[in-house]
């Protein structure tokens, strides 16, 4: 039995799943796995990135509405996988440092436009790497799907997940929000 779900496994599970029909709105099921759509998010003050080696997911971060819906400890729970299909990075460049009151737009500050986004897991080679401009629209966020950059990678359970927002030059007073859209795959 495999310990990890590969990207090919996840795509096959999602593509072959059908609603189980038990109740309206029940989760799709295939071979004992449940699948649901999910957007994982992380928000914080850009000024804090430098003191955290540009890492967005910290092991001591607690799940808190408006800050993150990712499990405490920086890794997925046992038996849960996340297949990421889209990413966007939003900012509030009005000198606020509280992400709970931020007004998110896709127009990133120059320090991120010229920077990079790197996503990995448990010391693996980078699962996704991009320029800042590729994952942030230069216009006001519409909330539509075109704001998300299409990607494909899998995060496995019980392994440390990593998102780095690498900036260039002086970091302006701003807050950031990284959103990962995809599918959560888990055992019943």
Which pLDDT tens digits describe the chain residue by residue (188 residues)?
344 556 666 666 666 554 444 444 556 666 677 888 899 999 999 888 889 999 999 888 889 999 999 998 899 999 899 999 999 998 888 866 789 988 888 778 888 988 999 999 987 768 999 988 888 865 555 555 567 888 889 999 999 999 999 989 888 788 999 999 999 988 76
For tokens 């495999």, the residue is 2
Tell me how far apart the alpha carbons of residues 158 and 180 are, in angstroms, rounded to a whole number: 18
C-alpha distances (whole Å) from 15 to each of 11, 28, 30, 94, 118 are: 6, 11, 10, 42, 27
Structure tokens of 40?
Answer: 């994982």
pTM of the model: 0.83
Which SS3 state, helix, strand or coil, does residue 76 take? strand
Radius of gyration of the chain (CA): 17
């Amino acid at each position: 039995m495999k310990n990890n779900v590969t990207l090919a496994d996840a795509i096959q599970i999602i593509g072959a799943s059908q609603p189980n029909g038990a109740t309206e709105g029940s989760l799709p099921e295939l071979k004992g796995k449940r699948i649901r759509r999910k957007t994982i998010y992380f928000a914080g003050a850009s000024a804090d990135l430098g003191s955290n080696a540009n890492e967005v997911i910290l092991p001591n971060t607690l799940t808190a509405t408006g800050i993150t819906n990712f499990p405490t400890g920086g890794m997925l729970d046992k038996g849960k996988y996340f297949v990421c299909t889209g990413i966007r990075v939003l900012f509030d460049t009005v000198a606020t440092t509280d992400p709970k009151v931020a007004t998110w737009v896709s127009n990133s500050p120059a320090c991120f436009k010229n920077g990079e986004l790197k996503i990995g897991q448990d010391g693996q080679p980078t699962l996704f790497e991009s320029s800042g401009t590729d994952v942030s629209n230069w216009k006001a966020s519409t909330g539509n799907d075109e704001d998300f950059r299409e990607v494909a990678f899998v995060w496995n359970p019980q392994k440390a997940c990593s998102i780095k927002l690498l900036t260039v030059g002086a970091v302006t007073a701003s807050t950031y929000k990284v959103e990962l859209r995809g599918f959560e795959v888990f055992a019943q």
